[in-house]
Amino acid sequence: MIRFGTFLVVGCMLILAGAADRAHARQPNIVILLADDLGYADLGFQGCQDIPTPNIDRLAAGGTRCTNGYVSGPYCSPTRAGLLTGRYQQRFGHEFNPGEAGAGMPVEETTMADRLKKAGYATGLVGKWHLGGNPRFHPNQRGFDEFFGFLGGAHPYFADRGAPILRNDQVVDERDYLTDAFGREAVAYIDRHKDHPFFLYLAFNAVHTPMQADDARLKRFKKIANPTRRTYAAMTSAMDDAVGAVLDKLTASGLEDDTLIFFFSDNGGPTMASTTVNGSINAPLRGSKRTTLEGGVRVPFVVRWPGKVPSGKTFDGAFIQLDVLPTALAAAGVAVQPEWKLDGVDLLPWLRGEKQGAPHDSLYWRFGSQMAIRQGDWKAVRYDSTADGKPGRKATPARLYNLADDIGESQDLAEAQPEKLKTLLANWDEWNAELVTPLWGSGSRATAD
């Protein structure tokens, strides 16, 4: 009887231990924190001195900082289309912002929310959509169970400046400063779904124009003389506060170790006079939003998953935001199928040091008449001539740079290395032949956001 009782106790302990292991092995939560038009140099962990970003720095310190993280376009909407599909957006015609009536990310494309929802995740979007305003393009029709935010590109930050905020398909009377509202809603979303794996896409419109900040934060930066930079600093600080609220909520809910987080910007900061300048700085990179120079497509990038991705480390391999989707799927235990035709790869083996080198042999860009290709440290690029101070928004002749020696793309090696340039351009031509004609916009005029 004693022996039977002992076996019973031991058996119960094993069952409970197994249940605990299964609970611990739950699918991780997936959180994407997307900044909008953020300058490469404008975070503390990127060396910024005049704008404290303690919460985003905390995120970077607890994860892996990626020094060669790219996005697949230099504009807001196209990179979002690439992010959510894991495919170069030029493959399905989403090359420019959908400014034309009825334009939006093709409904034939499957989103990250679609795929994670099928895997059992709750799915939520808080913030900026910018992938089409017609009902068939609405986030609730593209895999998101819950949506709080706005459908277009630029949006005011105060309720009295016009333009609605939606909860799913209903207009709400939102009175908080918009970045604060997005932080509040993200925290509430985590609270509602903390007992079940969730996907949260928190897409800030900070620090996109219009340049609007609340008085309390403006006072924090009264020593910044330039009024545009001062407002930009206040807007960045609001975004950092919202990121901090999300991190604190995950910790308080006991979810910190069970959450894979990505933080990056949708493109580089707009620093050229031909864009909606917001006071951002892209140093040491050259170029701006709306160019295929590094300043347009290389962005601050952090991946954090405690115990699964190294903390306090730097990863220098070149990769692209198209990799976020397959990385999230791998973490969730979802096998990528060949028929999905994803361009991204699972980054986890590289981040963990299980694989060496760069995740891609080549990275590609096409934005109308602008183009770029990166292979190893070499980059061939045709970029907007306004980056050289020339009018007309025409693409330059092809230039060649070695990014290992010249991150600022200042020394054109096209004449010194003509065969290298020829090879890169030929490889880009092969990729370009796979793409389709843009569904809207043109090579000479991208719709404004």
Contacts of 93 (CB under 8 A, 6+ apart): 106, 436, 437, 438, 439, 440
Query: Tokens 């060949």 identify what position?
Result: 338
Is there a catalytic annotation at residue 12?
no
Closest CA to 412 of 373, 446, 364, 378: 378
Q: Which helix (H) or strand (E) holds 373?
A: strand 370-375
Catalytic residue selected from 130, 155, 193, 360: 130
Q: What is the rounded CA–CA span in Å between residue 391 and residue 74?
A: 19
Strand 165-167 to strand 170-172: parallel, antiparallel, or no bridges (unpaired)? antiparallel
Closest CA to 37 of 202, 182, 154: 154
Is there a catalytic annotation at residue 130?
yes
Q: Which residues pair with 304 in a beta bridge?
A: 261
The token duo for 244 is: 């901090």
Look up residue 385 and give its DSSP letter.
G
Q: Which residues pair with 375 in a beta bridge?
A: 378
Residue 394 sits at the vertex; the CA angle it makes with 393 and 396, to the nearest 5 degrees, is: 125
CB 257 within 8 A of CB 29: no
- Amino acid identity of residue 297, one-letter, is V
CB 297 within 8 A of CB 74: yes
CB 368 within 8 A of CB 446: yes
Closest CA to 73 of 393, 280, 320: 320
Catalytic residue selected from 48, 66, 76, 360: 76
Q: What is the rounded CA–CA span in Å between residue 379 and residue 376?
A: 8
Query: Tokens 């220098």 identify what position?
Result: 316
3-state SS, residue 69: strand
The token duo for 433 is: 């032949």
CB 288 within 8 A of CB 271: yes
Q: Which residues pair with 198 in a beta bridge?
A: 122
What are the catalytic residues? 76, 130
